[in-house]
Amino acid sequence: MMNRFSFRSHLLAVGVALSMLLGGCAQQPIQLDQSESLQNRLNPTWKAHVEAVRQIADWQCIGRIAIRTETEGGTVNLNWRQMGDTVKIVLNAPLNQGTVELAGRPDMMLITDSTGHRQLTSNPEASIEQLTGWNIPIKALPDWIRGLPHDNSALIQLNQSSQLRTLKDDGWLVDYESYMPVPGFDLEMPRKITVMRDDIRLRLVVESWQINVNGKIEPSR
């Protein structure tokens, strides 16, 4: 059984666990309004992009994450593998400082660190908040990392390519700075993302996307 002190200390040693995205020099939050968001959702190019991305059930994202709060900060390497609603997230700190792994589904996840501490939870978001003190939107991240809103209530703003530029959902502001092409596919996936809420700021810089089509992983770099 992991207590809050030991697990949080390990997460900080790992650079920080369970999230993605810092904001060292993030832009000022963009004001979003409901009428513009509704108009954006009706954009045919955006709707086609959303449909194409949601059809990808098996994918992998490799990159670097950083997190900053008022009193803490750190960086970690990320390997996120999604297979339908099953996920495996591996976070490695630089210089072999430690590893944290999360595996399972949104309703049941196993959290393991490199010291062997493990916790099985049916409410990952509540467990992470209890262990670390951070309220991390675990359920929304698989959508946000792919440049998609998690639910219909989110306010969205599109860029000139009709991709997600800014997202506001349940108090979280997600800013998409840039996208990268996926060779062999007529779409682009996010490359730099910043997520902010209250005193938490996280940033993800993607090094590669890998999409599994018919049992074959197709990388993007």
Determine the pLDDT at residue 7.
47
Per-residue pLDDT, averaged over 35-54, amounts to: 92
CATH number of 4-220: 2.50.20.10
% of the chain surpassing 70 pLDDT: 79
Question: Is the pLDDT confidence value at 106 over 70?
Answer: yes
Question: Is the pLDDT confidence value at 146 over 60?
Answer: yes
- The beta strands (E) that lie in 122-215 are given as 155-158, 164-169, 172-181, 188-197, 200-213
Determine the pLDDT at residue 30.
59
Label residue 131 by pLDDT band (50, 70, 90): low
Mean pLDDT, all residues of the chain: 81
Per-residue pLDDT, averaged over 180-203, amounts to: 89
SS3 205: strand
Question: Is the pLDDT confidence value at 21 over 80?
Answer: no
Write the single-letter amino acid at 208.
Answer: S
Lowest mean pLDDT among 37-46, 131-140, 203-212: 131-140
Determine the pLDDT at residue 24.
40
Quick one: CA dihedral 158, 161, 163, 164, positive or negative?
A: negative
Question: Is the pLDDT confidence value at 28 over 60?
Answer: no
Neighbours of 187 (CB within 10 A): 17
Label residue 32 by pLDDT band (50, 70, 90): confident
Pairing of strands 108-113, 118-121: antiparallel
| pLDDT, tens only, 71-104 | 777 788 999 999 999 999 998 877 666 788 899 9
Question: Is the pLDDT confidence value at 143 over 60?
Answer: yes
